[in-house]
Amino acid sequence: MPFAIELTDLDDVKIVVPLAMRDDRGFFMEVYRQDLFAELGLPASFLQLNHSRSSKGVLRGLHFQWDPPMGKLMRVTQGRAFLVAVDIRVGSPTLGKWVGVEMSSDEPRQLWAPASFARGFCVLSDYAEIEYLTTGTYSRATESGVRWNDPAIGIEWPVVDPILSAKDESAQYLREWLARPESANFTYRGADPTDS
């Protein structure tokens, strides 16, 4: 099996470890394979591939989209970054809990988080490039986010004074999201790692 799965403190958030074949020329690895992802209980179909580059100290997030639901499989292709997923499911026993994982291009791993989790990252190296496969296509009208430093979530970001977009700096708090009718799109129905 060219993939291994590492569990996290949140049942639906997984770390996917591609097994690289290395020799003196470099390495080769399978990043995604539909049949094996389905066998592992991961989404077998992705609809969009995004790629971003950010400078040291940049923090992006915490983002999500409810229609179409957009789960993300994120990986660092250059540099080092701290990737985060936060449970935003109404009624979830882990509502507001988060997982944070430092990842780098030197040790290829991927973070899978379903659509019902807000995702973000901050850059730890001089710059980092991050790719993410998504289970839905982007919709400006149905995307949203929660504040990166919401005290109700309490993420321990490994950066001081992060560089933020105006949109991320003024994002809503988790309690505000939960008061919106759209939050019902992410209602807890038990652990389901294939939740798109």
- What are the residue numbers of the active site? 63, 132
Q: What string of DSSP letters covers 85-102?
A: EEE--BT-TTTT-EEEEE
For residue 171, the Cα-to-chain-centroid distance in whole angstroms is: 17
Question: Pairing between strand 72-78 and 59-65?
Answer: unpaired
Query: Which DSSP symbol is given to 146?
Result: B
Q: Where are the alpha helices (DSSP H) in the chain?
A: 34-39, 166-169, 174-179
3 vs 137: CA distance, rounded Å: 25
Nearest Cα to Cα of residue 192 among 47, 41, 89, 69: 41
21 vs 78: CA distance, rounded Å: 19
- Start-to-end CA distance of the chain, whole Å, equals 23
Name 81's bridge partners. 103, 123
84 vs 155: CA distance, rounded Å: 8
